[in-house]
A and B are shown apart, each in its own frame.
Chain A
Amino acid sequence: MSAAAQVRAAFRDAGVRGWLHARPVTGDGPRWASADVAVGADVPVVMASVYKLLVLVAYCRAVDAGELDPREPATVRPDRTPGPTGISALADPVTMSWRDLVTSMITVSDNAAADVVHARVGRERVAALPAELGLPGTRIRGGTADVFADLLADTGADDVAAAFAVLADNDVPVQVRALSPAFGSSTTATDMTRLLARLWRGELASPDGTAFARRVLGGQIWPHRLRSGFPAAAAVAGKTGTVGAVRSEVGVVTYPGEHPVAVAVFTHAARSDAAVPRADAAIGVAARAAVNALRAPAV
């Protein structure tokens, strides 16, 4: 069975619609540059927290340009974007450096940290980044707070937790903007592997900035998606995205002594339940099938 067929089978078995692209980040010889695995790779998909990857790149470039001091402390007040992790989960004012806010934004997908960093580097700068970096299928429209505002409006709920409960009902599928790539931030699997490959090769930031970006992505804590598809020997760096039935992760998988492979997996589950472990695991299964087809020793 071809890698693409294995990927489709993994999606079908998990009860999800899925979109995937994988490509080697670097390689030897003329063949690697055109090698890839693609399943619906150019179809627009919902970004959810994957947009934080663009905020990370914008931050690294602002530091490189001398516009932002990574060690400068920033104070974030309690009326910040809600969320289950990082300073989003805390109750009191928090003061930390910009680079630590970025670390929290990526390693634990901290919504509040993402929105303040996003505002600091400039929303218009982040919005302009896809065009600047050659990502024709990517649009960044606002941050997490904007998505939540749409979600409350679309579900008629009073708070974010109640809105997610509405999304989790299997009896009443709701049409919300947050689950449609036609509204809000959207991208394609191809765009995300292109972005990761360029970031990994050091084409988007200084050597220090590139090292920082690779380190925080490698420090992401979630083990249930890309990570679940690979043995311990493989280094998995990535960024997840989740909203309702949408579950995704984009990242770079590196086996010792081999060329890194960038892979982007986006899914939309048939089930509305807040937790669908099979859908999370399918991201790992699909990524493994795609990455295995592209592995090559670094000469």
Chain B
Amino acid sequence: MNLLRHLEFFMTVAEERHFGHAARRLGMAQPPLSQGVRRLETRLGVALFDRGPGGVTLTPAGRDLLPRARALIEDAGALDRAARRHAEAAQVLRVGVVADLGPRACARLAARAGRAAGRRASLTGGSTVALVDAVSVGTLDVAVVAHPAVLESTRAGPVIALPTAVLLPAGHPAAGHPGPVPLRTLRDLDLATAPRTHAPAVHDLLLDTLETRGRPVRAAEAPDPAAVLTLVATGAAFALTPDPDLGTDAVVRRAAAGDPVPFRVRVVHRDDTPPGVVDALAATLREGT
């Protein structure tokens, strides 16, 4: 007999306290349900229900066995779900890319990685800290994260320095001149950047670098690229972005004068990441946009 199916009969009748209602919920006729419950009682060697004139009630044995039946059914569901996850993982390469790179780069990186693995790719955005954790515990196969970051138990490829551009409010005096913007001229603006908790070491290194260059800044934390743009468009902040597409009305894009302020990234992966994926991601990052 299909024990799990029969335990489901048992559980449903116990919940409905009525064979007719239970049969309707299970989408079957009442006689086969009644026969099924009897077969289960025979198999277990104990009566599960008292079938009195007032309805169906659980016997003491039925009351004791009900939670065990429920646990078995729930575990069977969990088994199915876990198996489905494994089956999906075998077909899908789960790629993470830090959101700062912008949707075009994120999608291209994920697609190239998938092609290198011969699988469909799924993309997860998010903070560096969250992506490293996900690769570390195995819910992602590979991720492009900001560097420097604590790598937990992941493996890491080379550091790649992506060029950045300065985004500044169109109304700012420095926007009036064409050509590279000296960062010192943005003294009255905050720096719109991802919250420090997204990648503490990256955040600290950027602020230290700007301070070393004579441009100490206050960070205005923006959880995503749209929030960064909003701060710039409203005249509150400037931003440094590796995304060549990021922009909107009243926002001007310029190169930074002097030494570049790169956005450093690194591919983090697992021992079992399919071969070729890390190299494909690194090559795509080096191509630029």
Report A's interface with B, CB cutoff 8 A: 11-17, 170-173, 269-273, 276, 278
Contact = CB atoms under 8 A, between A and B. Distances in A.
A13 B208 CA distance: 16
A207 B106 CA distance: 65
Contact of A17 (B147, B150, B161, B264): B150
A276 B205 CA distance: 9
A272 B148 contact: yes
Given A171-B159, A173-B159, A270 B129 contact: no
A273 B205 contact: yes
13 contacts: A11-B150, A15-B149, A15-B150, A15-B199, A16-B150, A170-B264, A171-B262, A173-B159, A270-B148, A270-B149, A270-B150, A273-B205, A276-B204
Contacts of B205: 170, 271, 273
Nearest to A278: B204
Contacts of B197: 13
B200 A13 contact: yes
A269 B205 CA distance: 12
Nearest to B161: A171
A170 B263 CA distance: 11
B64 interface: no
B266 to A, nearest CB: 8
Given A15-B150, A170-B147, A170-B159, A271 B129 contact: no
A15 B128 CA distance: 11
A163 B208 CA distance: 23
B268 to A, nearest CB: 12
Contact of A12 (B147, B151, B200, B208): B200
A17 B149 contact: no
Interface in B136-176: 147-152, 156, 159, 161
Contacts of A173: 156, 159
**Overall SS of chain B's interface:** mixed
A13 B197 CA distance: 7
A58 B192 CA distance: 55
Nearest to B146: A270
Q: Output the residue of A171, A270, A276 with the most chain B CB within 10 A.
A: A270
Nearest to B160: A171
B152 A17 contact: yes
Given A271-B204, A271-B205, A278-B204, A15 B159 contact: no
Contacts of B129: 12
Contacts of B147: 170, 270
B201 A269 contact: yes
Given A15-B150, A170-B205, A273-B208, 20 more contacts: A11-B150, A13-B197, A15-B148, A15-B149, A15-B201, A16-B150, A17-B150, A17-B151, A17-B152, A170-B147, A171-B161, A172-B159, A173-B156, A270-B147, A270-B149, A270-B150, A271-B201, A271-B204, A272-B148, A278-B200
A14 B159 contact: no
Nearest to B157: A173
A271 B159 contact: no
A270 B201 contact: yes
Nearest to B209: A170
Contacts of A271: 148, 201, 204-205
Contacts of A278: 200, 204
Contact of A170 (B148, B151, B199): B148
A15 to B, nearest CB: 3
A16 B148 CA distance: 10
Nearest to B196: A13
A108 to B, nearest CB: 27
B200 A14 contact: yes
Interface string B120-135: 0000000001000000
A278 B204 CA distance: 9
A115 B148 CA distance: 34
3 nearest A-B residue pairs (beta carbon): A15-B201, A270-B148, A270-B201
A168 to B, nearest CB: 12
Contacts of A16: 150
A249 B159 CA distance: 29
Q: Output the residue of A11, A172, A273 with the most chain B CB within 10 A.
A: A273
A13 B198 CA distance: 10
Nearest to B152: A17
A60 to B, nearest CB: 37
Q: Output the residue of B150, B151, B152, B200 with the most chain A CB within 10 A.
A: B150
A7 to B, nearest CB: 14
A37 to B, nearest CB: 20
Contacts of B161: 171
A13 B161 CA distance: 24
Nearest to A14: B200
B137 to A, nearest CB: 15
A278 B264 CA distance: 20
Q: Output the residue of B151, B152, B200, B201 with the most chain A CB within 10 A.
A: B201
A97 to B, nearest CB: 43
A2 B204 CA distance: 27
B130 to A, nearest CB: 12
Contacts of B262: 171
A15 B152 CA distance: 11
